[in-house]
A and B are shown apart, each in its own frame.
Chain A
């Protein structure tokens, strides 16, 4: 008779087994292709928005939004099919003793490696395309490192969200159909570009994009940057006549001739300061913590969803 109390492979060893499998998958299933793909996306985006990123409030807002989009896109693409494409295999392995928590944890480690690699690629592309990162960081002494950590967190949280979806749905088709909706939700409810109010405004707290944008604007010292849109608007209206005179033009010429333009831009920026973008460690850490909390929730939901895999109909 066999011993009833036999112990089998524990969760930790299972994590190692599956991590090995995923790393082999990276090589043989062409998962490495996500790196050049991410590089191309980052290059296109930073080519367009790079010059003004972290230079002016407008440039920072648009640039940060675009960077967050790149990260979410990368994260979603990394894992949206990761689980559902091998759902039947997981089901078989679960029957043979696989712990779902081990499977998800090994996926998390593997995806973290992918996201880290993508973040490095994105940062290199940003550097090459001439993005000026803040010289000093808020948390670390290097601004570029603060930005990189934030991008990594955003990519990873998006990755975990897609992993959760991949654990819930049963086919790759459903997963790919779901992805655009999630992306739109993240973008619309980020609160960065669209004015939200009431219940919709509350929804922004559920998005990775909202916390990510706040963190990046805070690291980029948004509140200390010049605001150019007011000046540009005044320039557009400079020829406006009032009682035969052009008072706006006169003022602009005076400001320009006295070298006060930069002060005016900074003054505009200070008046447009936002509490959410204050460049303080507590603000950045809170944003990071919110993203981390979201990704943990997604990971837990992924485990719970997979625990029901045996209920799949044949």
Chain B
């Protein structure tokens, strides 16, 4: 039987656990976290909090450590061998230190998300359940920044190079893709490293956009940030809807064709495309509607013949088209392709880009990365050029039509443009910094002109 002290101790633990869980329930609710039931379970509750402030890794580590500590607590008994007891106690101490470190990081982010002063962290360290309850129930505590990243410094926002009046009207109507990537960072050994900075662009519907840049300039990072797969400190809107905020729904309106042909060779072409449609299309569509759309896309991409054949038996060009069909079948509003012509010869490459042009002509936005742009440049409406500045950060060096790009860089071909922004040690001209600065000035002037 337990003595009265033990009952008091258990009662206190249950009470604090309950208070903390209630606080977490409210806080994660304010942050629109979906799996809120996690807050009631040891281990998972830290993950829930971490994930809701966009720190799932830290949350998972902290949760895992908490669970380990819990297990250690359960298996440790007074009857244990002294050495083992000492070893387990030391291990528990180390785990607690790590839990503190990771939980502080999560709480720091939480205070930032709610626009609170950093001093709140002291209260978190004393009694974490208390500030959680205050934030959870306090009406004045509301998330300030949905992307949970650093505040956008006033005045440092990149100016957009305003387009034609028609484009401005379109932007006001919330049509097309509009993104402002303030920065995209990664942490390496506690050090913050910028991958992208200051990229703001409006792309009207029906545009076929070429994304250019040398190796390591951040093309794939930019694409992943735009489609919401790797979130940046950014605002990305597609036809008025915030991709980051509504990612759960928006991901179905975006098609992304990765660089590699990621599909199962053991499926037939028809099964691959049809299963992709079943996975991504709304439930409300009937089977016949889905099949009809699948057939339509396969016709468009020239995949109907031999659709019963195995994917593994298809040629490189056919594989690329199957990969495109898997995404296109859901009729995405934004269609992004990472090197759709990778490993293909000129004729097939041209054929694929012509199909993509046709898709853009249906009113969709198509963004493509390619390392051989000149053979298909006539098909594109716009060009985005990324350059890596002296700080090795990917920045916007140009956005405009292909002709404007040629004039801006003073080059005849897109490959020459890429070479001009590439670093000297990579065989380029090392003009990235100059181009980035010149384009920023041009954009600022254009914005000033538009405002006046």
Contact = CB atoms under 8 A, between A and B. Distances in A.
A24 B308 CA distance: 13
Contacts of A91: 262
B264 A25 contact: yes
28 contacts: A1-B240, A6-B252, A6-B284, A7-B283, A7-B284, A8-B280, A8-B281, A9-B278, A9-B281, A17-B278, A20-B271, A20-B275, A24-B266, A24-B267, A24-B268, A25-B264, A25-B266, A27-B266, A28-B266, A28-B267, A29-B265, A88-B260, A93-B279, A95-B229, A96-B251, A96-B252, A96-B279, A98-B279
A98 B229 CA distance: 14
A171 B279 CA distance: 26
Interface string B246-270: 1001011100101010111111100
Given A6-B284, A310-B229, A95 B251 contact: yes
B246 A4 contact: yes
Nearest to A310: B229
Contacts of A8: 252, 279-283
B278 A95 contact: no
Given A8-B282, A96-B276, A88 B60 contact: no
Interface in B2-29: none
A91 to B, nearest CB: 8
Contacts of B241: 4
Nearest to A31: B266
B308 to A, nearest CB: 12
A92 B258 contact: yes
Contact of A95 (B239, B246, B256, B275): B256
Interface string A1-35: 11010111110011001001100110111000000
B279 A9 contact: yes
A9 B283 contact: yes
Nearest to A14: B279
In order of increasing CB-CB distance, the 4 nearest A-B pairs are A28-B266, A92-B262, A29-B266, A7-B283
Nearest to A16: B278
Contacts of A20: 271, 275
A9 B84 CA distance: 52
Interface of A: 1-2, 4, 6-10, 13-14, 17, 20-21, 24-25, 27-29, 86, 88-89, 91-93, 95-98, 199, 308, 310-311, 314
A311 B58 CA distance: 12
Contacts of B258: 92
A260 B84 CA distance: 52
A1 B278 contact: no
B333 to A, nearest CB: 8
Contact of B271 (A4, A24, A29, A92): A24
Nearest to A96: B280
B310 interface: yes
B225 to A, nearest CB: 13
B57 interface: yes
A311 B267 CA distance: 27
Contacts of B56: 308, 311
Which of A7, A28, A89, A96 has the most C-beta atoms of chain B within 10 angstroms of its own C-beta? A96
A185 B71 CA distance: 21
B375 to A, nearest CB: 27
B220 A97 contact: no
A314 B216 CA distance: 13
A13 B282 contact: no
B39 to A, nearest CB: 16
B279 A4 contact: no
B328 to A, nearest CB: 12
Interface of B: 56-57, 60, 84, 220, 229, 239-241, 246, 249, 251-253, 256, 258, 260, 262-268, 271, 275-276, 278-284, 310, 312, 327
A17 B260 contact: no
Nearest to B311: A28
Nearest to A102: B279
B338 to A, nearest CB: 10
Given A310-B229, A314-B220, A6 B282 contact: yes
A49 to B, nearest CB: 37
A311 B51 CA distance: 12
B282 A7 contact: yes
A97 B239 contact: no
Contacts of A97: 251-252, 279-280
A95 B338 CA distance: 15
Given A6-B283, A9-B281, A28-B266, 11 more contacts: A6-B249, A7-B282, A14-B279, A20-B275, A21-B267, A24-B266, A29-B265, A95-B251, A95-B256, A97-B251, A97-B280
Nearest to A13: B278
Given A28-B266, A98-B279, A310-B229, A1 B284 contact: no
A221 B306 CA distance: 59
A24 B275 CA distance: 13
A92 B322 CA distance: 14
B99 to A, nearest CB: 19
Given A6-B284, A9-B283, A1 B239 contact: yes
Contacts of A14: 279
A10 B280 contact: no
Nearest to A313: B186
A97 B248 CA distance: 8
Contacts of B268: 24
A268 to B, nearest CB: 37
Contacts of A6: 249, 252, 282-284
Contacts of B279: 8-9, 14, 17, 93, 96-98
Contacts of A29: 265-266
Contacts of A10: 283
Contacts of A13: 278
Contacts of A28: 265-267, 310, 312
Contacts of B60: 308
B240 to A, nearest CB: 8
Which of B251, B266, B310 has the most C-beta atoms of chain A within 10 angstroms of its own C-beta? B266
Contacts of B256: 95
Nearest to B272: A21
Contacts of B275: 17, 20-21
Contacts of B220: 314
Contacts of B252: 6, 8, 96-97
A28 B266 CA distance: 5
A292 to B, nearest CB: 21
B46 to A, nearest CB: 14
Contacts of A93: 279
B264 A86 contact: yes
Nearest to A5: B249
A108 to B, nearest CB: 19
B223 to A, nearest CB: 11
A24 B267 CA distance: 7
A2 B285 CA distance: 14
A21 B264 contact: yes
A88 B276 contact: no
